[in-house]
Structure 1
Amino acid sequence: MSLTPALVVIGAGPRGTGVLERIAANAAELYEGLPLDIHLVDPYPPGGGRIWRQDQSPLLWMNSMAEDVTMFTDETVLMDGPVRPGPALHTWAADVRQGRVRVLGDPAVLEEIHALGDQDFPSRRLQSAYLRWVYERTLAALPPGITVHEHTGHALRVSGPRDGRQRVRIEGRADPLVADLVVLTVGHLDAEPDAEQEELTAFAARHGLVHLPPDFTADTDLSALPAGEPVLVRGFGLAFIDLMVLLTEGRGGRHEDGVYIPSGREPVLHVGSRRGVPYHSKIGYTWQGERPPLPRHFGAAQAEEILERPGPVDFRRDLWPLVAEELGHAHYHRLFTAHPERTAVGWGDFEEKYAVAEYGSPELAALVASAVPDPADRLDLDALDRPLDGVRHASYDALQDGLRAYISADLERRHDPRHSPDLAVFLGLLSVYGQLTRFGDIGEQWHGFFSHLASGPPGPRLRQLLALSRAGIVRFAGAGMTVETDEAEGVFRARSVTVPGASTEARALVEARLPDPSLRRTRSALLTALHEDGAAGTGTGLLSVDPADGRVLYRDGSPHPRRFALGPYTTARSSGAFTRPRTGGPAFRQNDATARTALAFLRDLSCRDRVTA
């Protein structure tokens, strides 16, 4: 058996690529020219992985502008390893157009690259080409002696002693891979249905109905949804946007000058959710001028102080006040410095008083009211998060008008630089996320809030939603949406608090959301086996990891010395495997810490005599 140290990375999407990039960046300092075999395992092609694979509908877009996507570090990333700059997506596309970068692939993707503007929203197929190029560049940057071996297939199990080599069993491969360290970067996972979803599926089977449980929309068979029939859709986030596109343009309809021209093959989508509104539109302008100084109220010192307190951390009690103060600081800094004509005092005076005012106090409310005359310029996080709270309509028809007005107003505001404090709040959200990754599983409240404000659809998608609403293809169902089953009538029935007493019936129900990450219900044989082997999970089902370096934590609280995990299924989940340039990139910091820990371990291992199992 070879004595060359071996590392297995399970997951070849952008997170796995990011770990490889950090290994390449840190190898000169930490690995001293020693040999290393890296085995990369994934059933999907390296670079894009499953979510960003090339083989998917060209109708599906990213929800970020080309200039807001990078896989490379810069000086804003707080990490111990060296910065290795590289092109953001829009710069890479310009390099392709000008012949500095050569990309082989689908002619349609190449055509899109040549037409891509900095503020366009690329297709996911185009992003796949960028990710593949980043992966190939990363391989080229690895020093001599470090070799990557690609393995196509699902990893099924990791076994081995804590103080010895690990064995990774791969579907369809007779012999396991033998490794000194294993890093899991498996991304979003499928899950078995929970009790509610099982009951809904059984009800649908009894009555010949259609029920589509939470899933990746791009992978869902939508052919069972009949043309012209009502379909209840529970979920108004990005999964719904994909569903909307695939069931309209994907069935032959088209948008012309703000009007939707149906093909006649579309179902009628009755969509609602807890909030009853789509995520806020992506902001449609770029940053100009001075950035807010972040962090100010929620930085490393504040996080450390909370972590040192005895007892568990409660998000609403311990963290939310600091989150709100940081977002408020970002908002008002931008308002006072970029739009001083809309304020009544100087920034220095306001900032001094803001810093000592307690979150949620009458004193803070009075300070803001006296310094910011127009209520539209004040930050109201509750209203942003739950815009339909307290809103009631007498009929569903009235709700359609009301929600179209809400979406139109949101689009106008999010594309108007006069409201640039909104973009400052977005930067504050990214800063806050970087601190929250240190606290492990803080529940779903934060992640839902972040997604609603910061991870919404492109503006053009919301304009398409308005056109579909006017065409009667999409019907808004309201907030607090619930779904009942009627055994006597054999239908699903939806109600919402927004239209009291009213209901909508349908023979089809779609859960437009990703499966919840859960060790208890995951369909990943790999994570199930890891959990059975003693890896710790949280109450919400996330895999527990050490936030410092991503080592998997076990039920006795100890980190496994040879197993690491990064991604949305862990307690250190961050806002994404790639990010907007110059915004800190928490995932990049995590990748760097894991890579450096792994390289130091493997270096020390290779520098002493070792007995291989």
Structure 2
Amino acid sequence: MTTLVIVGAGPRATGLLERIVANAAELLPPERPLHVHLVDPHPPGPGRIWRHEQSPLLRMNSMAEDVTMFTDASSTVEGPVRPGPSLAEWAAAQHEFEPYREQDDPAVAAELRALAPTDFPTRRAQSAYLDWVFRRVLAQRPGHLTVTVHRATALELTGPPDGPQEVRLTNTTLRADHVVLTLGHLGSAPAAEHEALADFAHRHGRCYLPPAFTSDTDLSAVAPGEHVLVRGLGLAFVDLVALLTEGRGGRYERTPTGPVYRPSGREPVLHVGSRRGVPYHSKTGYRLQGPPAPLPRYFDAAAVDALPGGDGPLELRRDLWPLMAKEIGFGHYHELFHAHPGRTALPWPDFLAAYDRLDWYSPALTELVAAAVPDPADRLDLEALDRPLGGRTFDTSEQLQRHLRDHLAHDADRRADPAHSADLGAFLALLSLYGQLPRIAAGGRLTARSTAEELDGWWSGFFNSVASGPPGFRLRQLHALSEAGVVRFLGADLRVTTDETTGTFHATSPTVPGHHVTATALVDGHLPRPTVTRTDDPLLRGLHRAGEITERTLTDATGTYRSGLIAVSPTDGRILDPTLGGAPHPRRRALGPHTDARAQAAFARPRTDAPAFRQNDAAARAILRSIAPAPVPPPARQRRPAPVPTG
């Protein structure tokens, strides 16, 4: 029997196991049994991030119909496609999907019964879906593929590349032929900057919270009424605000003009800023009104391979972005012309023929769009999306508060109005870009500087700001919190300093020249970046100390960039082992956001040929193919193995 240990039992592990089960009919005959050990202290399926045991105030930033764990007709996996329900489809007909089980939490059961496809579910609802997906995968496995779940932490991985691996857990040691690390989003030890801030806060009796997963953070150190600086306006910030307001007894009252916040008196005062100075754009709350655009059109494999320079170094903004931006524009205008033709002045075929032959930054393209799309509000302005404050300055902080409240209201209204469904067309085109970016990054075609500053810097921030924002109701809540004085905006390019004399934190922004805020607490309201060198995972720390994993590092004439990500083979996730001269380890793999394969999301939007599903399938097939055929036993001795308990 071959043994596989998967360390981490969250959605990425579940997706890999689903692909192993799906490919077993072709690649795992009955005479070659496989036993899988899943190791995670948290529940299998949801894992840590999506576990049920977290605040019911925390939501997903995706609509229920946009979440699936299953391949579909769009998938280009080598193995078999095994369709399954999205979160919305499963919630609407749970009794029809085996194995059915009643929900233990009455609040989750009620939410699932009432869940509309365009609702943004709680994370507890997603936890229930992921639990069902995991149980479904177990129910569909053949008898010679058995599974044991260990609710434990993996502490150490050892073993030669040509022999059995040993995975030491908190309560036992497992021997394995193959090991896959699907550890998900990891925390890390504080960087030097964060250590210095923590030391400052400790010496002066102040509060500092470093980057962390908000649902895991103890917020009790933030006192009621305390003035708190918050760096970051992304999803971690949105969660932080929910827990420090509604989570402390505040409530929203519905009015004809929008929600009004009624404080409990236990809230702090949050002074918030970031590089952009505004929260992420809200997610759209509607579907396409026209036919889906045939994506990709300009940023496909052929276009990338034809980029100037052959195999030479590329710069993302210089070489890739004009094609990427044109792809986003195509998605936007395809939806505008097909769903809202009354707001266009040219037939779509005429516009597309001209659009095809023009460069993104050419004056002729600007003229084409101006002639074809009369209303500037219908034109795609990527620069305004990227930096909404656009270098603007305000004479007073109160002017900035009013401006950002108007911005929040406009953004939430637009993203809730199907008349602006071209925004969704642009969003879908934005998602399609990920079909090529992992291949470009893994192939080392970008310079070190461009990878650091443009791919992992600017592009990551731009994508998250435009495509990974919160539901629209969160922006309306921020509007209400701003009116109530609980949240105050600081502006863009936020700068925070410390004052040893007073033991306080100070914040300034060029958005309001001359204005500064003093606070007794500082929260870095963003997620920790993955880093091999400071990871809080004991198994990875041990592998790094032993020199058996390395972070992806790029060095060229433009500089050196240390990504913090584990270097793996982009095709099947095999770990590149420095002790083997950087060759792929034959028995160890890693999949997920802690690797440089750059397909982070463990679940996906339906009909998008998700890169993570393709990686899972490639890894599953590689593992199954590596299992050496065993001699066929005599017929009289053949028997169906008893299922291994999963608890």
Give TM-score scaled by structure 2 length: 0.90
Is the CA contact 1:46–1:132 (under 8 Å) kept in the aligned structure 2? yes
How far off is 1:322 after superposition? 2.1
Is the CA contact 1:431–1:584 (under 8 Å) kept in the aligned structure 2? no
How far off is 1:365 after superposition? 2.1
Paired letter, 1:43:
P
How far off is 1:341 after superposition? 2.3
Paired letter, 2:67:
V
Q: What residue in structure 2 maps to residue 146 of structure 1?
A: 145
The 3-state SS of whatever aligns with 2:551 is: coil
1: CA distance, partners of 2:328 / 2:366: 15
| Matching of residue 374 in structure 1 with residue 375 in structure 2 | yes
373-382 vs 200-209, which moves further? 373-382
1: CA distance, partners of 2:544 / 2:355: 46
1: CA distance, partners of 2:315 / 2:460: 15
Q: What residue in structure 2 maps to residue 216 of structure 1?
A: 213
1: CA distance, partners of 2:354 / 2:600: 32
How far off is 1:589 after superposition? 1.4
2: CA distance, partners of 1:81 / 1:112: 35
Q: CA-to-partner distance for each residue in 1:367-412, whole Å, 9 max, x for gaps? A: 2223222222221211101111221111111111000001111111
Q: What residue in structure 2 maps to residue 582 of structure 1?
A: 607
- Give percent identity, aligned residues only: 58
Equivalent of residue 475 in structure 1, options 485, 488, 494: 488
Paired letter, 1:87:
P
Cα 1:310–1:152, aligned 2, differ >3 Å: closer, same or farther? same
Is the CA contact 2:530–2:565 (under 8 Å) kept in the aligned structure 1? yes
Paired letter, 2:491:
G
Map residues 73-152 of structure 1 onto 2, 5 A cutoff: 73-96=71-94, 101-152=100-151
Q: What residue in structure 2 maps to residue 31 of structure 1?
A: 28
Q: What residue in structure 1 maps to residue 178 of structure 2?
A: 181
How far off is 1:302 after superposition? 2.6
How far off is 1:325 after superposition? 1.6
Q: What residue in structure 1 maps to residue 477 of structure 2?
A: 464
Is the CA contact 2:290–2:335 (under 8 Å) kept in the aligned structure 1? no
2: CA distance, partners of 1:205 / 1:371: 60
2: CA distance, partners of 1:337 / 1:96: 36
2: CA distance, partners of 1:202 / 1:282: 38
1: CA distance, partners of 2:315 / 2:232: 27
| Matching of residue 541 in structure 1 with residue 542 in structure 2 | no
How far off is 1:306 after superposition? 5.3
Cα 1:307–1:204, aligned 2, differ >3 Å: closer, same or farther? farther
1: CA distance, partners of 2:600 / 2:472: 20
Is the CA contact 2:289–2:339 (under 8 Å) kept in the aligned structure 1? no
* Ranges of 4+ aligned residues in structure 1 off by more than 6 Å: 97-100
Paired letter, 2:244:
L
2: CA distance, partners of 1:429 / 1:226: 41
How far off is 1:352 after superposition? 2.1
Is the CA contact 1:7–1:180 (under 8 Å) kept in the aligned structure 2? yes
Q: CA-to-partner distance for each residue in 1:181-229, whole Å, 9 max, x for gaps? A: 1111100001111111111111111111100000010111101111111
| Matching of residue 70 in structure 1 with residue 68 in structure 2 | yes
How far off is 1:417 after superposition? 1.2
The 3-state SS of whatever aligns with 2:588 is: strand
| Matching of residue 526 in structure 1 with residue 524 in structure 2 | no
Q: What residue in structure 1 maps to residue 574 of structure 2?
A: 551
Q: CA-to-partner distance for each residue in 1:539-574, whole Å, 9 max, x for gaps? A: 121111222111122344422221111111111122
| Matching of residue 502 in structure 1 with residue 515 in structure 2 | yes
Is the CA contact 2:551–2:566 (under 8 Å) kept in the aligned structure 1? yes
| Matching of residue 15 in structure 1 with residue 12 in structure 2 | yes
2: CA distance, partners of 1:579 / 1:428: 15
2: CA distance, partners of 1:526 / 1:320: 38
The 3-state SS of whatever aligns with 2:374 is: coil
Equivalent of residue 622 in structure 2, options 583, 593, 597: 597
Q: CA-to-partner distance for each residue in 1:474-513, whole Å, 9 max, x for gaps? A: 1111111111001112110011121111111100000111
1: CA distance, partners of 2:144 / 2:570: 30
Paired letter, 1:549:
D
2: CA distance, partners of 1:545 / 1:524: 18
The 3-state SS of whatever aligns with 2:93 is: helix
1: CA distance, partners of 2:185 / 2:345: 48
Q: CA-to-partner distance for each residue in 1:523-551, whole Å, 9 max, x for gaps? A: 11222223333323121211112221111
Paired letter, 2:482:
S
556-565 vs 234-243, which moves further? 556-565
Is the CA contact 2:289–2:418 (under 8 Å) kept in the aligned structure 1? no
524-533 vs 215-224, which moves further? 524-533
Is the CA contact 1:97–1:114 (under 8 Å) kept in the aligned structure 2? no
1: CA distance, partners of 2:405 / 2:66: 28
1: CA distance, partners of 2:22 / 2:314: 35
The 3-state SS of whatever aligns with 2:148 is: strand
2: CA distance, partners of 1:250 / 1:336: 44
Paired letter, 1:270:
H
| Matching of residue 169 in structure 1 with residue 168 in structure 2 | yes
2: CA distance, partners of 1:537 / 1:296: 34
527-536 vs 574-583, which moves further? 527-536
The 3-state SS of whatever aligns with 1:443 is: helix
Is the CA contact 2:35–2:147 (under 8 Å) kept in the aligned structure 1? yes
2: CA distance, partners of 1:527 / 1:191: 11
Is the CA contact 1:433–1:575 (under 8 Å) kept in the aligned structure 2? no
308-317 vs 376-385, which moves further? 308-317
| Matching of residue 234 in structure 1 with residue 235 in structure 2 | no
How far off is 1:250 after superposition? 0.5
Paired letter, 1:351:
L
How far off is 1:425 after superposition? 1.1
2: CA distance, partners of 1:141 / 1:444: 42
Is the CA contact 1:70–1:87 (under 8 Å) kept in the aligned structure 2? yes
1: CA distance, partners of 2:184 / 2:117: 27
1: CA distance, partners of 2:54 / 2:423: 33
Q: What residue in structure 2 maps to residue 611 of structure 1?
A: none
Paired letter, 1:210:
C
2: CA distance, partners of 1:541 / 1:430: 24
| Matching of residue 309 in structure 1 with residue 310 in structure 2 | yes
How far off is 1:117 after superposition? 2.1
Is the CA contact 1:547–1:572 (under 8 Å) kept in the aligned structure 2? yes
304-313 vs 443-452, which moves further? 304-313
Q: CA-to-partner distance for each residue in 1:77-136, whole Å, 9 max, x for gaps? A: 221111111111111111237797333422222222222222222111111111011000
How far off is 1:171 after superposition? 2.4
2: CA distance, partners of 1:338 / 1:109: 36
Q: What residue in structure 1 maps to residue 359 of structure 2?
A: 358
Q: What residue in structure 1 maps to residue 588 of structure 2?
A: 563
Q: What residue in structure 1 maps to residue 467 of structure 2?
A: 454
Map residues 356-435 of structure 1 onto 2, 5 A cutoff: 356-435=357-436
Paired letter, 1:54:
H
Q: CA-to-partner distance for each residue in 1:432-474, whole Å, 9 max, x for gaps? A: 1122122236423222221111111011111111111111111
Q: What residue in structure 1 maps to residue 448 of structure 2?
A: none
Cα 1:309–1:14, aligned 2, differ >3 Å: closer, same or farther? same
507-516 vs 156-165, which moves further? 156-165
2: CA distance, partners of 1:386 / 1:103: 47
Paired letter, 1:291:
P
How far off is 1:606 after superposition? 4.5
Cα 1:151–1:66, aligned 2, differ >3 Å: closer, same or farther? same
Q: What residue in structure 2 maps to residue 270 of structure 1?
A: 271
In structure 1, the gaps of 5 or more residues are 609-613
1: CA distance, partners of 2:322 / 2:550: 29
Is the CA contact 1:68–1:581 (under 8 Å) kept in the aligned structure 2? yes
Paired letter, 2:570:
P
Map residues 435-454 of structure 1 onto 2, 5 A cutoff: 435-438=436-439, 439-440=441-442, 442-454=455-467
The 3-state SS of whatever aligns with 2:575 is: strand
The 3-state SS of whatever aligns with 1:148 is: strand
1: CA distance, partners of 2:138 / 2:305: 37
The 3-state SS of whatever aligns with 2:565 is: coil
Paired letter, 2:492:
A
The 3-state SS of whatever aligns with 1:493 is: strand
Equivalent of residue 192 in structure 1, options 168, 182, 189: 189
The 3-state SS of whatever aligns with 1:541 is: strand
Tell me how many residue pairs correspond in the alignment: 603
Is the CA contact 2:287–2:421 (under 8 Å) kept in the aligned structure 1? no
Is the CA contact 2:211–2:526 (under 8 Å) kept in the aligned structure 1? yes
Give TM-score scaled by structure 1 length: 0.95
